[in-house]
Amino acid sequence: MTIHTAGSTTATAPTDRPVRGTCPSPFGELLLTGVESGDGFALTSLSLPGRPGAPAEPVPDRDERAFAEARRELDAYFAGRLTRFSLPLSPVGTPFQLRVWQALEGVPYGTTTSYGELAARLGLSRVETRAVGRALGANPLLLVRPCHRVIGADGSLRGYAGGVERKAWLLTHEGALPPALV
């Protein structure tokens, strides 16, 4: 297993035990999956049950203790006290997807970027922008790898695995969108 932390990658460690847990959020219960090895725990997925990107197969072991730090950071994020996650991560994806997901960490809290701008940062052509969008759609780590901060070049809120209404909520929560007048 390759463990990634915010902005870095550490040594490869053997995969031991897959685990699953949950965390309450303003969106309802979040599903957390990860792997626990002798040297610690790494988050592999953060999703909403029943939404695209949520694991189809249940993870055999449910271990809420393994997710104590993830819950602490998520609670702080939703309370407005955390702007950058520092959890050990071990997402599964193609080399291209992993590269795109890592680039998301360069989009600061409270800001947005476009799909084309993200592709340009990665040294990709305009033709490859759709591939960036597909990689973002496959991001298994909602919130932690902030794909919600990527919007259309025209300012429109394009798709989000958690739903566009949640994307708008997250961007408003982070101050990247003004609160709606309802």
Q: What whole-number distance in Å separates Cα of residue 178 and Cα of residue 182?
A: 12
Question: Is 147 known to be catalytic?
Answer: yes
Given 147, 151, 161, 176, the catalytic residue: 147
HEC per residue, the chain: CEEEECCEEEEECCCCEEEEEEECCCCCCEEEEEEEECCEEEEEEEECCCCCCCCCCCCCEECHHHHHHHHHHHHHHHCCCCCCCCCCECCCCCHHHHHHHHHHHHCCCCCCEEHHHHHHHCCCCHHHHHHHHHHHHCCCECCCCCHHHEECCCCCCCCCCCCHHHHHHHHHHCCCCCCCCC
Active centre residues (catalytic): 147
